[in-house]
Chain A
């Protein structure tokens, strides 16, 4: 097994890497082109960036996206931790398994089905489509991933810790805040980050429940891209690319700091 790759495999891997990255760099390169098409690079300019930064509507959308992402990640983390604790405290294995199955439904469901069914739900309940409906859906689809990130940490914790705390007279709140939560903090962070990326990355669900007048970045990119090529999208995507990089690096270090935390995740 310790055999190194020969020339063939190396070339193969190189091709895969080039194909994976070429479109991204292609986008970025043309964000500096002074033309208005995505071919024939004409000359260096930062105009498209200026355009993006001066576009107030777009900046508001970016702000919306960030607010939704942070709020939904925070709230879904709280709910998800509750969920993980709930599953942890259920002693019957069968109940535990059925809770987990229900938990995973939203993870494996396709975005379109989630979006369509949430649209039905919000219409029936009478939630106005817009900020609230988008926020609620983002919370809803991020909860299960938080549960999955936190639960292994809980299971890793020795139950004697809780018994010890109780024996020593800790109230239930003290046990939670001084024993359990500190122990599962790495899982909570991982869950929060995953929820954040899920929310930032989501397009399909948001597209269904966003209604008129409220938009997130993905939805905006989609509607602009459908109108054809505009190099300000390229500039925007370059900015997003670097923001994403920062996030991934941040996440990588958090994951690295608690090596035994939940493994590397993938965006949706």
Chain B
């Protein structure tokens, strides 16, 4: 009886897993061995290890790392002080709210804000710095990405801080630890899991953003995501696109392992 029940539910679910989890990954790997003309080749992998692609991969990782670190540096104090506010649930909801708004619209807003005649340049001018080219620079890419990812970093850290046992802080205090020592030795290690999930939630998407690079970074910043999109939808070189996707999948698996929670 038990066995038959289980089989019934497993049928649709396993079908889904096979069709949309296993098959797509296998297809990506399969396609990475074919060139534009549909011939079997290892050329895509060879091409991936040429300076052009390696440089792109490195810069993509570098940008993702920068975005993650900046987000973390801004998000941690925000989450920390949020837990100390009155009505913290409400404030948290307000922090999360912007993340429900389509990220394209948020990126689009920066087209105006960072534009040549936009408010940022007005401010710079009134400060005597003068009009700068902000849009389509590394800075605009980093700023907009951090802006978009901040809530995803704040939420897990906030949750970790909330779960922390507060008597430990009192203990640290009683034993004469300074505030900084308490933070470094007690609070931060205890919230490490939240930091890890936050980093994971930011780093992986940051590796593969292509819409933000296209909208606010011009063609200055090319991430792995941009390259995949380019190969699949513009140049139609699916083999090369799949090869880059293979490396992106490997990178994702690696990050998952790094940020795995201790149990």
Chain B interfacial residues counted at CB < 8 A: 86
Q: Which of A86, A217, A245 has the most CB of B within 10 A?
A: A86
Neighbouring B residues of A17 by C-beta, 8 Å:
94-95
Neighbouring B residues of A252 by C-beta, 8 Å:
93
- Asked if A117 is at the interface (CB within 8 A of a chain B CB), the reply is yes
Neighbouring B residues of A113 by C-beta, 8 Å:
28, 208, 228, 245, 248-249, 252
- Asked if B129 is at the interface (CB within 8 A of a chain A CB), the reply is no
Neighbouring A residues of B84 by C-beta, 8 Å:
1, 3-5, 9
- Asked if A108 is at the interface (CB within 8 A of a chain B CB), the reply is yes
- Asked if A24 is at the interface (CB within 8 A of a chain B CB), the reply is yes
Chain B interface secondary structure, helix, strand, loop or mixed? helix
> Among the listed stretches B36-44, B49-57, B73-81, which one makes contact with chain A, having 4 or more residues with CB under 8 Å of it?
B73-81
User: A108 and B115: CB pair below 8 A?
Assistant: no
Neighbouring B residues of A27 by C-beta, 8 Å:
105, 108-109, 112
A239 to B45, CA, bound (A): 46
Contact of B23 among A121, A203, A264 (CB under 8 A): A121
Encode A211-239 as 1/0 by CB contact (under 8 A) with B: 00000011001100110110001000100
> Among the listed stretches A32-40, A43-51, A66-74, which one makes contact with chain B, having 4 or more residues with CB under 8 Å of it?
A32-40
A120 to B96, CA, bound (A): 34
Closest CB in chain A relative to B18 CB, distance in Å: 9
> Among the listed stretches A55-63, A77-85, A183-191, which one makes contact with chain B, having 4 or more residues with CB under 8 Å of it?
A77-85
User: A106 and B225: CB pair below 8 A?
Assistant: no
User: B233 and A208: CB pair below 8 A?
Assistant: yes
Closest residue of chain A to B121, judged by CB?
A39
User: A118 and B20: CB pair below 8 A?
Assistant: yes
- Asked if B157 is at the interface (CB within 8 A of a chain A CB), the reply is no
User: A222 and B101: CB pair below 8 A?
Assistant: no
User: B208 and A111: CB pair below 8 A?
Assistant: yes
Closest CB in chain B relative to A39 CB, distance in Å: 4
A-B contact pairs, 17 of them (CB 8 A): A4-B84, A9-B81, A13-B82, A23-B110, A23-B113, A24-B106, A83-B16, A89-B5, A113-B248, A121-B23, A197-B100, A203-B104, A221-B102, A225-B215, A226-B214, A237-B101, A264-B92
- Tell me the A residues contacting B by CB distance below 8 Å: 1, 3-5, 9-10, 12-13, 16-17, 19-24, 26-27, 30, 37-40, 79, 82-83, 85-87, 89-91, 99, 102-103, 105-106, 108-114, 116-121, 124, 140-141, 143, 172, 197, 200-201, 203-204, 207-208, 217-218, 221-222, 225-226, 228-229, 233, 237, 240-241, 244-245, 247-248, 252, 263-264, 266-267
Known: A24-B101, A201-B102. 7 other contacts (CB 8 A): A13-B78, A16-B74, A86-B6, A105-B25, A109-B204, A118-B20, A226-B214
